[in-house]
Amino acid sequence: MTPTAGPVRAPEADGAAGARIRAARKEAGLTQQGLSATVQVSRQTIIAMETGDYAPSVYLAIKVARALGVTVESLWGV
């Protein structure tokens, strides 16, 4: 079975996770560019996470949470 092309959509349709990521990033005093450099992804990837257009891998989610000084659960809460 071939996976569909395109971004992996975040599970929350209302963008709540994206809003939490954006708020935590601003609280940490980071720009999108600064966070992207810290976790070694493109700024577009950070934008996609903040708009809910991209659900990161577990590895990237952990890197983002550590860079922001929060838990993964606080960003993508289950």
Q: What pLDDT sits at residue 76?
A: 87
The reported pTM is 0.81
- Residue 24 in domain: yes
- Residue 67 in domain: yes
* Residue 31 pLDDT exceeds 90: yes
Burial degree of 45 (CB within 10 A; 0-12, 13-18, 19+): buried
- Residue 72 in domain: yes
- Residues counted in the chain: 78
- Token digits for 62? 């952990």
CB atoms within 10 A of CB 32: 17
pLDDT band at 57 (very low <50, low <70, confident <90, very high): very high
Number of folded domains that form the chain: 1
- Residue 5 in domain: no
